[in-house]
Amino acid sequence: MKKPLMALAGVVAVCMLLAIVSNVMAADANQPKGTPKEKSNDNKLVIGIVTVVKDNDGNITEIKVKAHRELIYQVVLDEKGKELGKTMADKSARIEGSIEIKGNVHWLTVKTFSEPKANPEAKPKPKPPAGKPKQNQ
């Protein structure tokens, strides 16, 4: 009775070992060698207009960032998110954070934010020539 039981235990152990090895090999089959697995949606940059919705008591209930015509981010209302709403309401902001997509909603968790930097390549508007302006007579 001991021999069949030992043989069965050996077969089960070999099957489990093969299953574990095949799962490990299958998980890394598409991963290039020497590169770490990427964290999804971490440290993204969003530049857009911050819109804040408040309740009757003045508490922030919703913050959105309109990045361009069709892409609007819902801001997670944690400490940094609320700080963004208080500081940058109705202004353009440069926001770094993580993005998570749930259904059709893009959720932005704010890590840092600031005013957008001016474009150094943008040409300033030409100034009118100095002197007295002409008057119509």
Instruction: Convert the pLDDT of each residue in 32-71 to its tens digit.
Output: 444 444 444 478 999 999 999 999 999 999 999 999 888 9
AA letter at 17: L
Q: Tell me, what CATH number does 95's domain have?
A: 2.40.50.140
Instruction: Convert the pLDDT of each residue in 73-106 to its tens digit.
Output: 999 999 999 999 999 999 999 999 999 999 999 9
pTM greater than 0.75: no
Residue 109 lies in a domain: yes
Give the chain's domain count: 1
Residues in the chain: 137
Residue 5 lies in a domain: no
Residue 71 lies in a domain: yes
**d(Cα 60, Cα 124) in Å, to the nearest integer?**
37
Q: Give the pair of three-digit tokens for residue 75.
A: 């801001």
